[in-house]
Structure 1
Amino acid sequence: MLVIDKPAGLPSHRGPQAKRRVIPVLTDHLDALRFGLPRRPEAAHRLDKDTSGCLILGRHPRAMAELNQMFRDGRIDKTYWAIVQGSPEADEGLIDLALGKRAPDRGWWMKVDPEGLPSQTRYRVMGRGADETGPLAWLELEPLTGRTHQLRVHCAASGWPMLGDEIYGDAPREGGPGLQLHARAVIVPLYRKKPPIRVEAPPPPHMESALRACGWLPALTGS
């Protein structure tokens, strides 16, 4: 496998929006990551276009099959960093809200729906601060399920939408700070008789200001 640090703003695949406009997508760059193999690697999971950070690639069909099975079994752990607007009352907790599609014509947009799919997110407050918009919190998020837009909807439904979220928050379509959501780390039990592999991605430049406002210090957090 390979783990890359996907930049924010790069779609993982050529979906409807990318087809309507000539914009680069992740798959345009995968041929450069063959490293001697006859086939290019493929993404074993997805990150939203505006989410940065760790993305796992399988280098050949057997690797893809094994990675897909690990994801289905819940054996791959993913940790995200997010900056949210507001201040969670508890320093840690579990968000347990079922999710369903917002409307048939809204594509991937989701909403809290008691009749939807079970969805759980564990959160921990890493720091608190403020900017011109008001209180901010730096969260570490662990999705226990893998629903579309799960972290964004769960945070918004809890009363603290992600900074820069133009769908579930109040960020402007143009000129905003960018979605403050980063796939910080993945832990993959790749080998049966060896410790799991942990990979971390440093936070992207567009999140550094808000992270610093919440107490982030690179030397103390590993980058």
Structure 2
Amino acid sequence: MAVVNLYKNENFLIVNKPYDMYINSDDENEKNTVVCHIAERDSHRSNSAHPLHFVQRLDYSTSGVLCLALNKNAAATAGRLFEKRLTHKYYLAIVRGHLSFEICDIKYPVGSDRTSPDNGHKMLALTETTTASCGPPRSAETRLLVLESGHYEDNPVTVVLLKPLTGRRHQLRVHCSAIGHTILGDYTYSDRQDVSPHRMFLHATRLVLPLPKEPLDIQTEEPFFSDNRFTSKWTPLAKKYNYCEKQDFIKVCDVIDKAFERSDKYKLFS
């Protein structure tokens, strides 16, 4: 799969990262990286002749919008926006099960999973049942909006819009798992049980970067329903919002951004 350029100027390169691809690697034999597709092999190193600066990151299994800075000043500017939570990131995901609410806030802190043997790479949400296993936890917040329900291979699934309000490692995957709706195809957070899908269904669909001189609003095409490997196993049930076209996706982003009444359609996990 190819890395597709979405935007480029003298300061930033924004690409559409394929799923199951690393961003970079110190292993000179590893070629399945974004860096190998778009730049010199050593571009992720600070001593490179043409270094790339990663102002955000996406997991190996996650696809979608990825922003890279082409110089230190641009990296610092974008970094401050991310640190101050002035950027807006929107993800499409398909989760296991049908949800009993339409919108929710998930405010479980996230820390490393002390029971995992992989040296802290696996994370865990801090809940009443995970106090001894989670640490050290940091505050984390995700908002989730239900878009459509259906079935995948005759099993209930739901298409959701996710907006992370913080940026913890594996935050979206951990939060979905913590509320009992693991992302479809997430091998790690399904305890290695979800192996039938060809990919993990998490895609960074839109990034809003309010740069002082040139605000950016970058969006990809919807990636799931254009893939026959998914649609051949999908049966629709109920659609709450249109979201596959770009303008429709912007509208559902507006919905998840707005304040809303606390009602039976809303749930808070904290």
Bucket of the pairwise TM-score, normalised by the shorter protein: 0.7 to 0.9
- Corresponding residue number in structure 2 for 1:28: 36
1:96 aligns with 2:107: yes
- Corresponding residue number in structure 2 for 1:200: 219
- Corresponding residue number in structure 2 for 1:85: 96
Aligned residue for 1:141, secondary structure, equals: strand
- Corresponding residue number in structure 2 for 1:72: 83
Q: Could you tell me how far 1:30 is from its partner in structure 2?
A: 3.5
2:62 to 36, 44, 51: 51
Q: Could you tell me how far 1:108 is from its partner in structure 2?
A: 1.6
Q: Could you tell me how far 1:12 is from its partner in structure 2?
A: 1.0
Question: Structure 1 CA distance, aligned partners of 2:111 and 2:221?
Answer: 32
Question: Structure 1 CA distance, aligned partners of 2:235 and 2:70?
Answer: 36
- Corresponding residue number in structure 1 for 2:153: 132
Q: Which runs of 4+ in 1 moved over 4 A?
A: 205-208, 214-217
Q: TM-score, normalised by structure 2?
A: 0.70
Tell me, which stretches of 5 or more residues in structure 2 are unaligned? Answer: 1-11, 44-48, 251-270
- Contact 1:82–1:140 (8 Å) recurs in 2: yes
- Contact 1:30–1:40 (8 Å) recurs in 2: no
- Contact 1:77–1:186 (8 Å) recurs in 2: yes
Q: Counterpart of 1:171 in structure 2: which amino acid? A: D
- Contact 1:30–1:41 (8 Å) recurs in 2: no
2:53 to 28, 33, 42: 42
Report the RMSD for the aligned CA atoms in angstroms: 2.8
Question: Structure 2 CA distance, aligned partners of 1:111 and 1:67?
Answer: 28
Deviations 1:53-107 (A, max 9, x none): 0001112111011111111111111000000011121100101111111137423
Question: Structure 2 CA distance, aligned partners of 1:124 and 1:53?
Answer: 19
Deviates more, 1:175-184 or 1:96-105: 96-105
- Corresponding residue number in structure 1 for 2:9: none
- Corresponding residue number in structure 2 for 1:144: 165
1:61 aligns with 2:72: yes
Q: How does 1:101-120 map to 2 (within 5 A)?
A: 101-103=112-114, 105-106=117-118, 107-113=120-126, 114=131, 116-120=137-141
- Corresponding residue number in structure 2 for 1:171: 194
Aligned residue for 1:119, secondary structure, equals: coil
- Contact 1:78–1:183 (8 Å) recurs in 2: yes
Which of the pair has more CA radius of gyration? 2
> Percentage identity across aligned positions?
27
Which structure has more helix as a fraction of its residues? 1
- Contact 1:53–1:203 (8 Å) recurs in 2: no
